[in-house]
Amino acid sequence: MSYFIISDKKPDDTSISTLRIKHEEDTRYLFNTTDNSFNNNYQAIDENGELQARGTIVLNNIPIAEDGKKAFEERFLNRARAIESTPGFIAIKVLRPLTDDTYVVLTQWESTQAFKDWQTSGAYHKAHKKRDTSEGLKQKENVVNEKPYHIIYDVV
């Protein structure tokens, strides 16, 4: 089994390919491994594209209640996949938490501007059109624990 790790510590094993990402004073290390002994383990349930040592990484953190995990995962597995054809898009990894309740939708972009352009695009609005309706996961009882939030990191 393969795990994605988001850590504040660089792995000791120098053979592990690691991306160093930074947001203001917060530096994190992002890597993939088969070793499940690290904290902050995630398993990819959906992914497209390969992470690269450049650009911008966006970590969209979505706290999901235990009873809502199945609905959340089904929603992502059945998504329109419009993001993949967006200019500046590099990769997406939908990550299931193995140590807490917060899913991470990791996207990588050529630049922060490419991500912002996605957020104002028709494809973004189409993908999120049900968000604030009765069909949106946020509106369903026992799905979203807390307000989702995202952090934008530069690959350094």
Pick the closest to residue 144 from 92, 71, 58 (CA basis).
71
Which residues contact residue 128 at a Cβ distance below 8 angstroms, ignoring those fewer than 6 apart? none
Q: Report, as an integer, the average pLDDT of 85-111.
A: 95
> Which helix (H) or strand (E) element contains residue 124?
helix 122-127
User: At 80, is the secondary structure helix, strand, or coil?
Assistant: coil
Residue given tokens 């970590």 in the structure block: 59
Distance CA 155, CA 22 (A): 7
CA distance 148 to 154: 20
Token pair listed for 2: 């393969």
Instruction: State phi, psi for 125 to the nearest 5 degrees.
Output: -65, -35
Would you place residue 141 in the very low, low, confident or very high pLDDT band (cuts 50, 70, 90)?
low
Residue 147 tokens, joined: 């307000």
Q: Quote the pLDDT of residue 1.
A: 66
User: Is-contact 149 13, C-beta < 8 A?
Assistant: no
pLDDT higher than threshold 60 for residue 140? no
Q: What pLDDT, in 10s, does the model give residues 103-134?
A: 999 999 999 999 999 999 988 888 777 555 45
In the block, residue with structure tokens 């309740």: 101
Query: pLDDT tens digit string along 32-81?
Result: 888 767 766 899 999 999 999 999 999 999 999 999 999 899 988 988 88
pLDDT at 139 exceeding the cut of 50:
no
d(CA 72, CA 92): 16
Structural domains present in the chain: 42-155 (3.30.70.100)
